[in-house]
Amino acid sequence: MNTSWDTLKLLAEPTRLRILALLLREELSVAELQEILGMAQSRISSQLALLRSAELVSDRRDGKRAYYSLRDPLPAPTLALLRSATDAVAGQPELAADRDGLARALTRRRAHQEEYFNLIAGRLGKNYCPGRSWEALGHLALRLAPPIVIADLGAGEGLVSQLLARRAKQVWCIDSSPKMVEVGSALAEKNGLSNLAYKLGDIEQVPLETASVDLAILSQALHHAQHPQAAVNEALRILKPGGQLLVLDLKEHAFEKARELYADVWLGFTENTLHAFLEKAGFHSVEVVTVARETEPPHFETLLASGRKPA
């Protein structure tokens, strides 16, 4: 394909234009494009095949991965046409979200390039060392935390909150299960934690005052919510200005049995989806990272998302 007319026809399809806008900035793998665009691999691959046959993009293999980039060199008129088309729609929400997704994908790449240091840091817990454990380190880290008011949303029995309450000013555990609230309250009383209180309630309608807590936690709770965005919105509401939200949840997976075994509503979330939840709610300084990968099938991965309420 050599005519500008044919190129214009290709650019008329939004998905192809979004792909080209990304490839104008960076060479990307199919998996990275899938993550950024939030689309199925089959859809992206079919569009890439069209762009490749049109000699607009080229691909290279790196092990099992295929990376795509703009064909080099592209005729000057064709390149000018691509730039004009992508510039014309640069202000659209989808293109802005794509640029944010690209920035996160490149950040993850840099993290992988530092794998040597990650491996050193990741040896904790893999090799035995007398007296060193995640539980012990958790207690140590909690001693560094200031005495603040914390809301543990979807707390269950409140095992995390039992630790937090030993340092926090006040911890509120919110859960929709009467039995969980009963068991957690009994455990708090047994441990003499007068600053740890349980409330029966939904994380989508939190029974706490607006701007009343310093830190909100959603630990493996969001994938049980019917409307995750509503839960994140509620977290923002109850936080004081400058307060922080921490979300610990499963990365998107395909283990369908989780719906039956664990009453999961959602099969985890992508990094981009969690990032979007927090941004849409109004949080700033949003970060999402993978913090754990299980070695046993189905190889669940855990994401940690954080954001701050504007001061």
* pLDDT tens digits for range 101-130: 999 988 877 765 455 334 434 444 455 445
CB of 200 within 8 A of CB of 181? yes
The verdict on residue 29 lying in a domain is yes
Range of the domain at 140: 127-308
Within 8 A by CB and 6+ apart from 226, the residues are: 204, 265
Among the candidates 57, 90, 113, a domain finishes at 113
Residue with tokens 């941004």: 279
Choose one of 113, 143, 172: the last residue of a domain. 113
Looking up residue 233, the CATH number of its domain turns out to be: 3.40.50.150
Check whether residue 302 and residue 252 sit in a common domain: yes
Give the count of domains, the chain.
2
Residue 87 CA to residue 85 CA, distance in Å, equals: 6
What does the pLDDT read at residue 145?
Answer: 67
Q: For residues 96 and 212, state if they share a domain.
A: no
Task: Say what the pLDDT of residue 268 is.
Answer: 93
Helix (H) or strand (E) holding 32: helix 30-37
SS3 (DSSP) at 268? coil
The reply to whether 262 falls in a domain is yes
141 and 39 belong to one structural domain = no
Residue type, 217: I
Q: What is the pLDDT of residue 160?
A: 81
Query: Token digits for 114?
Result: 């530092």
Q: Is residue 118 part of a domain?
A: no
Which strands make up the sheet holding 28-29, listed edge to edge? 28-29, 65-70, 57-62
CATH number of the domain where residue 85 is located? 1.10.10.10
What pLDDT, on a 0 to 100 scale, did the predictor assign at position 124?
41
Please tell me whether residues 88 and 165 are part of one structural domain.
no
Residue with tokens 């060199």: 73
Count, in order, helices (H) and strands (E) of the chain.
Answer: 13, 10
pTM confidence score: 0.65
Instruction: Looking at the structure, tell me whether residues 235 and 287 fall in a common domain.
Output: yes
Q: Is residue 69 part of a domain?
A: yes
Helices 93-113 and 30-37 pack at an angle, to 10 degrees, of 140
Which residue numbers in the chain have pLDDT < 70?
1-2, 62-63, 111-145
Name the 3-class secondary structure at 43. helix
Closest residue by Cα to residue 268 from 283, 277, 255, 278: 255
Q: Determine the pLDDT at residue 118.
A: 43
The pLDDT, as a whole number, for residue 1 is 46
- Say yes or no: 277 and 164 in one domain: yes
Residue with tokens 């719906």, as numbered in its chain: 259
Is 289 found in the same domain as 142?
A: yes
Residue 122, domain member (yes or no)? no
Co-location of 178 and 295 in the same domain:
yes
Domain annotation covers residue 120? no
Cα 86 from Cα 21, distance rounded (Å): 6
- Assess if residue 91 is contained within a domain: yes
Specify whether 105 is located in the same domain as 133.
Answer: no
8-state DSSP, 309: -
Residues 199 and 53 in one domain: no
Parallel, antiparallel, or unpaired for β 301-308 and 65-70? unpaired
Residue 240 lies in a domain: yes
Cα–Cα separations (whole angstroms), residue 178 to 74, 173, 175, 181, 182: 64, 12, 8, 5, 6
Q: Are 208 and 215 in contact (CB under 8 A)?
A: no
Q: Quick one: residue 260, left, alpha or beta (phi over 0 = left, psi -120 to 50 = alpha)?
A: alpha
Strands 301-308 and 284-293: antiparallel
Question: Where among 55, 80, 113 does a domain terminate?
Answer: 113
Looking at residue 140, its pLDDT comes to 63
Q: What is the pLDDT of residue 258?
A: 87
**Are 140 and 42 part of one and the same domain?**
no
Statement to judge: residues 142 and 56 lie in one domain: no
| CA-based nearest residue to 150, from 130, 172, 119, 121 | 172
